[in-house]
Structure 1
Amino acid sequence: MLGIDTKARDGRAVVSKGNPDTASNVAVQVPGTANDLNNVDKQIERVDRLQKASRQRGGDSTAVVSWLGYDAPEVDGSMFTTGRADAGAGDLRSFTHGLRESHTGERAHMTVLGHSYGSTVVGDAAAHSNGIDADDVVVVGSPGMSVDHAKDLQMDPNHVWAGWAPDDVVSTVASNKTLGENPADQDFGGKVFEVDTEGHGGYWDQGSESLANQGRIIAGMPPRPGEYRVPPEPSPPGTTGPKW
């Protein structure tokens, strides 16, 4: 347990599997909409799977942190604006730079991951001030990272990775609306890794290529490439909305 606050709105919890001060590979997982202290056990399960996936692919010395260090949006209008991301971005920057300062030995390979609105927080934090000092950024099920291009994240775009499931409506429908361009689109300028899971919450399914690829990135290895999302066609004249 790296930090807990039961008084701040829905609460805060920062929990690590492994010691981030000594691990050679350090990852920070930022959850998205509707996460609070009531379901932090689910987030701990996800970081446990990520740590194991990294270790299975050579990252024997790996620590993965579940960072619920911001007030995640509820399922309401707050998830369609960058307000919560703007409020939490500074704390995420401080946390990742703090990990750099407290780490002993050689510089760790650091990966910052964001799911759903968590990817918006990661993008907001990376794009401003002194960034997040990550070696790799991974987003899954992203509605947008608050920026239009990977180059805006103050890091090598070749180390900005996106995963998306074809039936994940957040990645296929909600993105490109109010929270920035879809990071799974080729025009965004990042990279896409293979996902073989379904829905918005399946990216950590046991035995999946999606989980394995995230483990590879955390361990400093390239993932298996995936296909970029194809943006929807413009609506024909006289119709409403895009052709999904």
Structure 2
Amino acid sequence: MGRGTTARWRHRVGGLRRAGLAALIAGAVVLPLTGAARPGIPAPAPAALAAPTAGTLEEAYAANRANAAEASRMAAAHGDRHRAAADRSLADPARHLLAFDGRGAGLATEVFGDLARADRVAVLVPGSDTSLDTYDRFRAAALALHRRLAEEAPEGTRTAVVAWLGYETPGTVSTTVATTGRAEQAAPALRALVGALRGTTGPDTNVALLCHSYGSVVCARAADGLDVADIALVGSPGTGADSVADLGTTARVWAGRGAGDWVEHVPHLSADLVGTTVGFGTDPMSPAFGARVFDAGDGGHSDYFDPGSRSLTNLARIALGEITEVTRD
């Protein structure tokens, strides 16, 4: 084997090793939640509803709660008590479900606050392994954000949070978690949600996307021309884009990572393997990406929405438009 051939072979093997390492590590860049989805659980088709308006929100909430109640009954009859309990909780009269689909891993969009009258709306986009079976943890993050927004908001500013489990998130142990495929499938649904919010809120309402882990890949895929004021990428393994400019958005784009988040050590690589792209490219925290880096405190990958955390405070401030430049306070 000639010297040039040997060098090319070593380069190719090195590239494959780097891509494989990126895939393996990206596979763990997830919320460490338990409870695998069980696609065989029966559930009704989602309620057939027109696009919501401020005047029809309560009707939509009621219809989706009724659908969740029926899904609970069907899951119980199927013998799945865990899913039946999860669906039954979502059917509680106090819950505000903008959307619900109990089939498969399940989808739900839940509202916290008075959406129709909100001046500021934060949409929380989850990462991998989030489903109806693990929804309580995601909901806890949304509740913590809602409370922090209320505490931080200037007097007279009304706020709402939308917990958007609107896509089939990739599993922890799967090839999908290391590629942008699920994000590309999810992007139209996230764009549709933002459009629906524009039909239920006032014309001057500001919307912010707060995107955790793999959710940051979803937000990046949906960002082009999206009518939002801010996009925050939190604990992001990368977005699949080289820079903020590649996202095609006029929104302020933020990036934050806790000092204890091991995602910092993810190889920020991207490689084409067998017709798909593995890895997510440029680190959103890097100067080359061009995001506004904010202080996310000392927490780990699952700690960004912990009550009392610096990351939660700064995410609330971003959603409220109170931070406009990089902060390290």
Q: Does 1:211 align with 2:307?
A: no
Alignment root-mean-square deviation, CA: 1.8
**Pairing partner for 2:254 from 161, 183, 188:** 161
Task: List alignment gaps of at least 5 residues for structure 2.
Answer: 1-96, 271-278
Q: Which residue of 1 aligns with 2:72?
A: none
CA distance in 2, matches of 1:215, 1:168: 20
**Amino acid in structure 1 at the alignment position of 2:166:** G
The answer for the alignment partner of 2:232 in structure 1 is 138
1:27-59 deviation per Cα after TM superposition (whole angstroms, max 9, x unaligned): 110101111001111111111111222222225
Cα distance in 1, alignment partners of residues 226 and 216 from structure 2: 13
Shift in alpha-carbon separation, 1:180–1:22, aligned structure 2, 3 A:
farther
Deviations 1:107-155 (A, max 9, x none): 111101110000000001113xxx3211000111101122111122222
Are 2:116 and 1:21 aligned? yes
Q: Tell me how far apart the structure 2 counterparts of residues 136 and 18 of structure 1 sit (CA, whole Å).
A: 20
- Counting only pairs closer than 5 Å after superposition, residues 150-229 of structure 1 correspond to structure 2 as 150-156=244-250, 159-177=252-270, 178-222=279-323, 225-226=327-328
Moved over 6 A (4+): none
CA–CA distance in structure 2, aligned partners of residues 174 and 140 of structure 1: 17
1:6 aligns with 2:102: yes
CA distance in 2, matches of 1:175, 1:226: 24
Q: What CA distance in whole angstroms lies between the structure 2 residues aligned with 1:134 and 1:197?
A: 28
| Residue matched to 2:195 | 97
Q: Which residue of 1 aligns with 2:171?
A: 74
Structure 1 174/40 Cα, relative in aligned 2: closer, same or farther at 3 Å?
Answer: farther
Q: Counterpart in 2 of 1:37?
A: 132
Contact 1:55 1:215 in 2 (8 A): no
The alignment's TM-score, normalised by the length of structure 1, stands at 0.85
Q: Which has the larger radius of gyration?
A: 2
Letter in 2 for 1:6: G
Corresponding residue SS for 1:143: coil
Does the CA contact (< 8 Å) of 2:260 and 2:298 recur in 1? Answer: no
Cα-to-partner distance string for 1:87-120 (whole Å, 9 max, x where unaligned): 110010011011112213x411110111000000
Q: Match for residue 47 of structure 1?
A: 142
**After superposition, what is the alpha-carbon deviation per residue over 1:196-235, rounded to whole angstroms, capped at 9, x for unaligned?**
13211011122111110001011111076149xxxxxxxx
Report the Cα distance in structure 2 between the residues aligned to 1:154 and 1:21, rounded to whole angstroms.
28
**Residues 70 and 88 in structure 1, CA contact (< 8 A), matched pair in contact too:** yes
Give, in whole Å, the separation in 1 of the partners of 2:280 and 2:229: 23
More helix by share: 2
Describe the shift of the 1:174–1:18 C-alpha distance in structure 2 as closer, same or farther (beyond 3 A). farther
In 2, the alpha carbon distance for the partners of 1:23 and 1:171 equals 35
The secondary structure found in structure 1 opposite 2:118 is coil
| 3-state SS of 1:142 partner | coil
Q: Which runs of 5+ in 1 are unaligned?
A: 228-244
Q: 2:208, 2:249 → 1: CA distance?
A: 12
Would the aligned equivalents of 2:259 and 2:297 in 1 still touch at CA under 8 Å?
Answer: no
Look up the match of 1:86.
184
The answer to whether the aligner puts 1:117 opposite 2:214 as a matched pair is yes
1:58 to 153, 156, 165: 153
C-alpha deviation, 1:182, in angstroms: 1.4
Asked if the contact 1:126–1:154 (Cα under 8 Å) also holds between the matched residues in 2, the reply is yes
